[in-house]
């Protein structure tokens, strides 16, 4: 019999917290079961295995990150939106490293829930980039550039990959300047 009050959503929240603490690659169903106060066989009443749990963490994390970015971009566009996105993105990744790691993979073919969460994220980013008048493929390239740039610095920072004494905050500002210049130069289509 399933533990009273335990739901799939609560299991995924516990799993996401465990992933933040131990790392997504170190996440185990045994650790999730322990956090939820159930046996490993009891956990299977709520989830369909580790891959399914990681997929659910990804959907949760994409939605959370989208919410964080949406709040950051309220009332701003263009260069100012890039600055606010940079702060929000970096803050989320550092506060939730396991969840953040789960956001990196694209949804599996046919996974409409995960794809919809990703589409919502792209929509928030596209709205914030509206001031650059990018459409179609130029907008897709801009979203990819933004994500790649932010992820590059965040992932290197979290891995301890920056040993030089210069301010990483300043590096992030330079990245925002570079993205702003690139988006301004992209031809609208």
Q: What is the mean pLDDT of each run of 10 residues along the chain (189 residues)?
A: 77 98 96 95 94 97 97 91 94 97 94 97 92 90 94 95 94 95 81
pLDDT of residue 186: 82
Q: Is the pTM of this model over 0.85?
A: yes
pLDDT of residue 177: 96
Rounded to 5°, the CA angle 67-54-48 comes to 125
Q: Give CA–CA dist 52/71, Å, rounded.
A: 29
Rounded to 5°, the CA angle 21-25-30 comes to 70
CATH class of 8-185: mainly alpha
DSSP string, 94-131: HH-HHHHHHTTSPPPTT-HHHHHHHHHHHHHHHHHTGG
Helix (H, G, I), strand (E, B) or coil at 183: helix
pLDDT of residue 5: 82
pLDDT of residue 3: 62
pLDDT of residue 23: 96
pLDDT of residue 1: 45
For 144, the token pair is 């990819």
Helices 78-95 and 168-185, packing angle to 10 deg: 140
């Amino acid at each position: 019999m399933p533990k009273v009050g335990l739901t799939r959503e609560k299991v995924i929240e516990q799993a996401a917290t465990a992933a933040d603490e131990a790392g997504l690659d170190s996440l185990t169903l045994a650790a999730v079961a322990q956090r939820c106060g159930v046996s490993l066989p009891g956990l299977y009443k709520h989830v369909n295995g580790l891959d399914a749990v990681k997929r659910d963490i990804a959907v949760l994390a994409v939605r959370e990150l989208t919410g964080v970015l949406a709040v950051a971009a309220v009332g701003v566009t263009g260069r100012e939106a890039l600055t606010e996105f940079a702060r929000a993105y970096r803050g989320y990744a550092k506060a939730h490293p396991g969840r953040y790691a789960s956001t990196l993979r694209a949804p599996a073919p046919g996974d409409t829930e995960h794809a919809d969460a990703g589409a919502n994220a792209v929509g928030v980013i596209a709205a914030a980039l509206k001031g650059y008048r990018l459409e179609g493929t130029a907008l897709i390239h801009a979203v990819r550039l933004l994500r790649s740039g932010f992820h590059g610095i965040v992932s290197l920072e979290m891995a301890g990959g920056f040993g030089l004494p210069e301010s990483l905050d300043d590096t992030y500002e330079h990245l925002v300047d570079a993205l702003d210049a690139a988006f301004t130069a992209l031809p609208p289509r």
